[in-house]
Amino acid sequence: MNVRAQISMAMNLDKCIGCHTCSVTCKNVWTNRQGAEYMWWNNVETRPGPGYPRQWENQNKYNGGWALDGGKLKLRIELGKNYKPPSLQDYYEPWTYDYEVLFSEKQTEQQPVARPISLITDEPMDVAYGPNWNDDLAGTDYILEDPGLDGLQKEVYAQFRDVFMMYLPRICNHCLNPSCLAACPRKAIYKREEDGIVLVDQNRCRGYRYCVAACPYKKVYYNWKTGKSEKCILCYPRVEAGQPTVCSLTCVGKIRYMGVLLYDADKVLDVASTPDPTQLVRRFIDEVLLDPFDPAVVEAARRNGIPDDWIKAAQRSPVYKIVKKWKVGFPLHPEFRTLPMVFYVPPLSPVVTTFEKTYGAKITDVFPKVSELRIPIKYLANLLTAGDTSLVEQALKKLIAVRIYERSRNVAEPGLAEKAKAALAEAGLTEEDAEEMYRLFALARYEDRFVIPTNPKRYAKQPYIERGVVGLP
């Protein structure tokens, strides 16, 4: 057992309001400079929709991530052969406006118009696409570009603006098996041993952009000014000081949680090579991610030089509770086989009371109706569990059970307490679990949402990539 520790993040999609505060603060801190105008290390997408860059999930178009070749992992891109990074049109041509004309234009009967000006060419342009082009427009034709709707009736959903909609915040996943790292011929991308953060060495990078093509989430960007690649750094200067990322700190909905996860590095390649992608998530959570309370895991972690304060932080980690303990958080598109370390709690929509009004269902009849919630479980499964609907359904049951339990504590209704206990039992939760989940998701304070040990010790004795963990070809 080769125990390692990583700073990880979980996001509760049930609470995201799509305000883009996380995107704006990240932009102002890290990419507010020439050459990075189109970069959004953190972006929030309206789903269903094409995403940013356009159709980033379509690996038939971009050849990102890993594929199995004879049972072994292989990069989908072959250097110099099927190299398909996104074009500027897949992102957007960043622009500003000629505001001076609003003041210098002579008075006329028509309102003066500030024309868009390209930030790259400084020439007038027509705006054709942007990072939030379909913001709040999940019911328009843009829905047809969403690969996550495979197996669903795209045309039917596209006819109704209010059929279903959700927000999906995205950052670099700081994967355990990053394809961007493996694709870089300069070895400019590396994964830090002490906290698992994936970074780009700007001194080694030569701007080949293989990393951009290989990342299936398209979270590596090319800086046209410097000629080098850049990506989310998980605000590592803040993390080293025990502080959360800027996107987490400024999140209006408080949907983000950060903490330490312990994992078995020796299991990474084996699990990432799982033939059936629907089984990959289960193996990832059960075999790769470790229980920090297990004495054998603790002993192995200490033997590997992981400091005690990191082990204690892993035991208090909200991400551990969400992903490993309660199993209500899942990685984004695990079928890409990169083993992402950013997890998502699927949205429960609508709330129980609205659910009852819509379907005429009583509390005890909720669970059989989970498959008929407004956001199709199949869509959520395509997004988070490689199509395994049972995992999503069980997570939604747990979220509903917690709401039923809390309602039973505040509503004087005969027999409701017994029904709540039955709902918890069916969801596989105890009353203590329900209380803890409610506090974490609804009432959590700063120190509960962010459990980040300070000053990470560089306990690694050898570089990560030399152990062959990341599947280098």
Q: Which amino acid belongs to residue 461? A: K
The answer to whether the CB of 12 falls within 8 A of the CB of 345 is yes
How far apart are the C-alpha atoms of 87 and 218, rounded to whole Å?
11
- pLDDT score for 360: 47
Residues of the chain scoring pLDDT < 70: 139-140, 155-163, 350-373, 455-473
Which residues, listed in sequence order, are joined to residue 117 by a DSSP beta bridge?
Answer: 96, 124
Q: What is the pLDDT of residue 79?
A: 77
pLDDT of 100: 84
Going 326 to 332 to 336 to 338, the CA torsion angle's sign is: negative
Measured CA distances, 141 to 42, 109, 134 (Å): 25, 37, 10
Between CA 450 and CA 463 the distance in angstroms is 28
Predicted TM-score (pTM) of this structure: 0.91
Rounded-to-integer distance, Cα 126 and Cα 265, Å: 49
> Distance between CA atoms of 427 and 320, rounded to whole angstroms?
19
- Give the residue from 277, 434, 378, 399 showing the smallest Cα distance to 328: 399
Could you please report the per-residue DSSP string of 395-464?
HHHHHHHHHHHHHHHHS--TTHHHHHHHHHHHHT--HHHHHHHHIIIII--HHHHB---SS-----SS-G
pLDDT reported for residue 102 = 82
The whole-number pLDDT of residue 465 equals 42
What pLDDT sits at residue 81?
79
> Which has the closest alpha carbon to 332: 189, 452, 172?
172
Domains in the chain with CATH codes: 7-93+129-249 (3.30.70.20), 273-449 (3.30.70)
Query: Tokens standing for 223?
Result: 């800086």
